[in-house]
Amino acid sequence: MNRQTVAQLIGAGKKRGAVQALAEVDLTIAAGEVYALLGPNGAGKTTAISLLLGLLRPDSGEARLFGLAPQELAARRRIGVMLQSAGLPDTLTVGELLAQVRSYYAQPRSLADVAALAGIEPLLGTRHARLSGGQQRRVEFALAICGRPELLFLDEPTVGMDTESRGQFWQTIRELVAGGCAVVLTTHYLEEAEALAQRIGVLMLGRLVAEGSLDAIRARVGQRQIRCVSSLSAEQVRAWPLVQSVQREGERLHIVTPQPEPVLRELLAADAQLHDLEVQRAGLAEALQTITREAA
Amino acid sequence: MITTPFDAIARRSLALEARLEFLRLLRTPSFAIPALMFPVLFYLLFGVLLARPGASGRAAHYLMATYSVFGVMAPGLFGFGVSVATERDKGLLALRRALPMPPLNYVGGKLAMAMLFAAIIVSMLCIAGAAVGGVRLEAAQWLSLLVLMVFGALPFCALGLLVGSFVNGQAAPAVINLIYLPMALLSGLWFPLNLLPAFIQQLAVLWPAWHLAQLGLAATGQGGEGAMSAHLLYLAVFTVAVGRWAARRLQREP
* b/e A231-266 (16+ beta carbons within 10 angstroms → b): ebeeeebeebeebeebeeeeeebebbbeebeebbee
Long-range contacts of residues A19-25, Cβ cutoff 8 Å, at least 24 apart = A19/A206, A20/A206, A21/A47, A21/A206, A22/A47, A22/A48, A22/A51, A22/A58, A22/A206, A23/A206, A23/A207, A24/A60, A24/A61, A24/A207, A25/A61, A25/A203, A25/A206, A25/A207, A25/A208
In angstroms, the separation between the Cα of residue A103 and the nearest Cα of chain B is 5
Question: What does the pLDDT read at residue A82?
Answer: 95
Instruction: Express each pLDDT in B197-227 by its tens digit.
Output: 999 999 999 999 999 999 999 999 998 888 9
Calpha distance B164→B185 (Å, rounded): 23
Question: What does the pLDDT read at residue B215?
Answer: 97
Nearest to B9 among A69, A99, A106 (CB): A106
Contact B66, B213 (CB under 8 A): yes
At how many degrees (to 10) do helices B105-131 and B58-90 cross? Answer: 160
Name every chain B residue with its beta carbon within 8 A of the beta carbon of A129: none
Do A91 and B23 lie within an 8 Å CB cutoff? yes
Question: What does the pLDDT read at residue B202?
Answer: 93
A136 to each of A32, A80, A152, A155, A158, how far by Cα in Å?
A: 27, 16, 18, 15, 11
To probe the interface with B, which of A91, A97, A152, A184 has the most B CB atoms within 10 Å? A91
Question: What does the pLDDT read at residue B4?
Answer: 66
Question: What does the pLDDT read at residue A78?
Answer: 96
Nearest to B100 among A77, A83, A99 (CB): A77
Residue A70: what residue type? P
Do B92 and A92 lie within an 8 Å CB cutoff? no
Nearest to B27 among A86, A91, A101 (CB): A91
How many Cβ pairs closer than 8 A exist between chain A and B? 89
Burial of B1 (0-12, 13-18, 19+ CB in 10 A): exposed
Contact B148, B65 (CB under 8 A): no
Question: What does the pLDDT read at residue B29?
Answer: 93
In angstroms, the separation between the Cα of residue A81 and the nearest Cα of chain B is 6
Name every chain B residue with its beta carbon within 8 A of the beta carbon of A150: none
Q: Which 3-state string (H, E, C) describes A122-136?
A: HHCCCEHHHCCHHHH
Which ipTM did the prediction report? Answer: 0.89
What SS3 state is found at A250? coil
Do B5 and A83 lie within an 8 Å CB cutoff? no
- For chain A, say whether B228 makes contact (Cβ under 8 Å): no
- For chain B, say whether A100 makes contact (Cβ under 8 Å): yes
Mean pLDDT value across residues B40-48? 93
Residue A119 Ramachandran class (φ > 0 left, ψ -120 to 50 alpha, else beta):
left
Calpha distance A101→A128 (Å, rounded): 15
Q: Low-confidence residues of chain A, pLDDT below 70?
A: 1-2, 221-222, 282-283, 296
> What is the side-by-side strand order in the sheet with A252-257?
A245-249, A252-257, A224-229, A275-281
Question: What does the pLDDT read at residue B65?
Answer: 96
What is the greatest pairwise CA distance in chain B? 66
A201: enclosing H helix or E strand: strand A199-204
- For chain A, say whether B99 makes contact (Cβ under 8 Å): yes
Do B17 and A100 lie within an 8 Å CB cutoff? yes
- For chain B, say whether A15 makes contact (Cβ under 8 Å): no
Instruction: Express each pLDDT in B110-142 by its tens digit.
Output: 999 999 999 999 999 999 999 999 999 999 999
Nearest to B91 among A86, A106, A153 (CB): A86
Contact A56, B253 (CB under 8 A): yes
User: DSSP labels for A207-248?
Assistant: EEEEEEEHHHHHHTS--EEEEEE--S-HHHHHTSTT--EEEE
Instruction: For CA atoms B150, B153, B155, B158, give the dihedral sign.
Output: negative
In angstroms, the separation between the Cα of residue B243 and the nearest Cα of chain A is 21
In angstroms, the separation between the Cα of residue A44 and the nearest Cα of chain B is 15
Calpha distance A175→A117 (Å, rounded): 9
Instruction: Express each pLDDT in A118-133 by its tens digit.
Output: 999 999 999 999 999 8
Instruction: Give me the residues paired with residue A255 across strands.
Output: A226, A246
To probe the interface with A, which of B28, B93, B95 has the most A CB atoms within 10 Å? B95
Question: What does the pLDDT read at residue A162?
Answer: 83
In angstroms, the separation between the Cα of residue B91 and the nearest Cα of chain A is 5
Burial of B203 (0-12, 13-18, 19+ CB in 10 A): middle
Instruction: From B146, B139, B135, select the one nearest B48 (Cα to Cα).
Output: B135
Contact A227, A277 (CB under 8 A): yes
Give first-to-last CA distance, chain A, whole Å: 29
Q: Which residue in chain B is spatially nearest to A95 when comparing CA positions?
A: B20
Question: What does the pLDDT read at residue B182?
Answer: 96
Calpha distance B40→B125 (Å, rounded): 6
In angstroms, the separation between the Cα of residue A228 and the nearest Cα of chain B is 51
In angstroms, the separation between the Cα of residue B229 and the nearest Cα of chain A is 40
Contact A227, A254 (CB under 8 A): yes
- pTM of structure: 0.86
To probe the interface with A, which of B4, B99, B170 has the most A CB atoms within 10 Å? B99
Calpha distance B206→A201 (Å, rounded): 57
- For chain B, say whether A133 makes contact (Cβ under 8 Å): no
Nearest to A100 among B20, B100, B253 (CB): B20
- For chain B, say whether A53 makes contact (Cβ under 8 Å): yes
Q: Which residue in chain A is spatially nearest to B12 when comparing CA positions?
A: A103
Mean pLDDT value across residues B9-29? 94
CB contacts under 8 A, A 227-286 vs B, are: none
Q: Is the pLDDT of residue B1 over 80?
A: no
Burial of A111 (0-12, 13-18, 19+ CB in 10 A): middle
Strand A19-30 to A151-155 pairing: unpaired
Residues 6+ apart with CB under 8 A from A44: A21, A22, A25, A203, A205, A206, A207
Contact A180, A151 (CB under 8 A): no
In angstroms, the separation between the Cα of residue A100 and the nearest Cα of chain B is 7
Nearest to B2 among A56, A71, A127 (CB): A71
